[in-house]
Structure 1
Amino acid sequence: MRRYGPALLLVLTGAAILRISLFSALYLRYVQPALRPYLVVSGVVLVVLGLLAAVVRRKSYDDEDFAYDDDARARDEDGSGHGHDEHEHEDEDEHGYSHHGHGPRVAWLLTLPALALLLFPPPALGSYSAGREAAQRASEGVGTFPALPAGNPVDLSVAQFSSRAIYDSGRSLKGRTVRMTGFVTHGDGDTWYLTRLLVSCCAADATTSKVEIRGADPTPADTWMTVTGTWHPKGKLGTDAAWPPVLDATSARQVKQPADPYEKR
């Protein structure tokens, strides 16, 4: 099997990428939906390269074994042969290195990340990542925002609610009932937040937006909740005193994590 190590690693990596992008929506834990075609193409290319590498490797070994058999027969005929054992012993030295280009056996550990992604894809970022992120500020500063849609409750993302609560001089949230979905993070004491992570490209650039929830009992961290309530004004617009914004909850219910756990900028 050592001869097929590089090929196997390519196939495993490609299969793992295809599993999360072509055969499921798990890729949304890591990248934007628009990147799916690139992931699928990458996975297919890696699998094809792995299969081609296996074929080439097999052919090279068959040719090598054929050449060795001819050489061994020639040595046997003139009485100088040492048998097939010498050839086998030359395959590896005492350090585990192959003399035919396989590399050290420890290189097989490179298959572990590919197997982990194939069998146990890591979860989306959650409360731990959100807790390490500093407070984010909207780039537009204090100003007026477009009017909210008619009707109550109005569905907003956590980021949209935060921006309006902190920067909207028109106070468009006043008197409106809003509904948001996010996961739970905890603060001091019984304080808890409805939180979402925002991404521009992939999980590596994720930043945090959160809303303090009052009037509803806290639940375990990383629990996904849909919360309905009204804005609770605090602090001066555009200042640290206004962050994080507050929602007085009228209802809060646990929901499943959405297929795409990240909000988009």
Structure 2
Amino acid sequence: MIDPAARRRRRLLLAALVVVCLVLITAGFGSTGGSSTGGPIGALGEGASKIAKPVRDLVRWVGDTADAKGEAEELRADAARLRKENVDLTSRLRKFPNERRLQALIARYDLQRNSPVPANVIGHSPTAWATTITIDRGANDGVEERQAVVGAAGEGAGLVGFVSAVSGGQATVSLLPSQDVAVGARLVTKDLATNRLILTVHGAGAGTVDDLELDFVPSTTDIEPGTLVATSGTVGDTTQFPSNAPPELPIGKVTRVDNERTDEQVAHIKPLVDLRTLENVQVLTRVVNGNRGQ
């Protein structure tokens, strides 16, 4: 659309050119002395025609130039809009596989009953010493401290951390490798006795973003690399050590075991989710059955 101010300027210019045209016509008529063929009227018509032509051409050129300028501005605006739409579409296409995996996780573990609140990651901790993310949902959206957060990035989906600080429209999530995060867990194996063991997962130490440790594994328990580790949830009727995460949520897979088959054996776990590239998560804002298993 042509700028209204530009349209007004064109009209003023055209009016000025009309005035110039009349002046030139008058001057031309005076120069003919009224003696051209056809008398004064003929002289006036002939002089006006000759003098007004360049003026008409000038007026037409000015109008065409203004129209072309307006069209160019419209094209630039259209190009800017298309560039923005392209960026948005590219971002959505990039996020689509992770969003699909996250929705599959929610469906598989029936997390809709936990009233998940979707959130975008708007900030990552600047150093590995504080493994946190900032999300664009907060107390105004029902987000509270200690709520579990699930996400998808890389090739997997699962538990990524817990809400550790909340404001009206934002929240901080401490990711699993954080030293202040710990969660009850189980080894997912075919051995029922091993499955019943309640273990603890926590960060492996400052500076790590993809290494967790599984503690309190009995020396009699064999731990195979590649074994899936999932949340245990709250066990039994006790409320002394309730879990902040629903049961069975996948955490990661065992990569190696230190001090194997001893009382000090510790399994190292790589999170299923690439925590460094998280872009969107869901906060589980409602606890169902005290986070106990069904």
**The two structures share one fold, judged by TM-score above 0.5:** no
In proportion to residue count, which structure has more strand? Answer: 2
TM-score (norm 2): 0.30
TM-score (norm 1): 0.32
The structure with more radius of gyration: 2
